[in-house]
């Protein structure tokens, strides 16, 4: 399972669109705070692997390891 | 803009996976309660139009009109 503290440390780039506490400031970007951990893992994997296409998320997710994804998902699910 | 009360009336089928109050009971399904309205609209459109591929959501979204999508998004954003 992911480590929320490690996820928080990796989340700076996410905060630009999804908010510093996982609440987005823009209506077109989803809130992540309190979202289901398994859903967050699957979507980050899908963005990374190209199964879910999004021009903004693709380059963000591309460099993430499975551990990075687990940590980020654990962090946002914990908020 | 969508009508939350109309959306609630149209949301029975959604509740099976996303919960009666938009909080999913399964880790792989996202919570919808309090999600951004614009994001919900865009994702339902993407599922309907095939831009976002998901075997469960595709047939759910297929019959939705733009008004249905607006109402559902308004409802879940209001929770």
* Mutation choice for B interface testing from A22, A29, A36, A53 by most B CBs within 10 A: A36
CATH no. for residue A52?
Answer: 1.10.760.10
Measured in angstroms, the CA of B27 and the nearest CA of chain A are apart by: 5
Q: What is the DSSP string of A9-32?
A: HH-HHHHHHH-TTS--SSTTSPP-
Q: Considering only residues 20 to 79 of chain B, which have any Cβ-Cβ distance to chain A shorter than 8 Å? A: 24, 26-31, 34-39, 42, 51-53
Q: What pLDDT score was predicted for residue B1?
A: 87
Cβ contacts (< 8 Å) between B51 and chain A: which residues?
53
Kindly indicate the confidence band of residue B31, based on its pLDDT and cuts at 50, 70 and 90.
very high
What total number of domains does chain B contain?
A: 1
> How many A/B residue pairs have CB atoms within 8 Å?
45
- Check: CB of residue B70 under 8 Å from CB of residue B2: yes
Length of chain A: 79
Q: Which residue segment(s) compose the domain that B25 sits in?
A: 4-78
State the ipTM, two decimals: 0.93
Tokens in use for A5?
Answer: 């503290």
The predicted-structure confidence for B32-60, as pLDDT tens digits, reads as follows: 999 999 999 999 999 999 999 999 999 99
What's B79's DSSP letter?
-
The predicted-structure confidence for A35-44, as pLDDT tens digits, reads as follows: 999 999 999 9
CA-CA distances (angstroms) from residue A3 to A34, A54, A75? 15, 26, 7
Per the model's pLDDT, the better-predicted residue between A1 and A17 turns out to be A17
Mean pLDDT of the region A42-51 = 97
Q: What pLDDT score was predicted for residue A10?
A: 97
Place of tokens 């399904």: B29
């Amino acid at each position: 399972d992911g480590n929320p503290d490690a996820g928080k440390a990796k989340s700076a780039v996410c905060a630009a669109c999804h908010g510093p506490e996982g609440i987005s400031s823009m209506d077109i970007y989803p809130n992540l705070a309190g979202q289901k951990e398994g859903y967050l893992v699957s979507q980050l994997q899908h963005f990374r692997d190209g199964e879910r296409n999004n021009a903004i998320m693709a380059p963000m997710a591309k460099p993430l390891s499975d551990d990075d994804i687990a940590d980020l998902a654990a962090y946002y699910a914990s908020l």
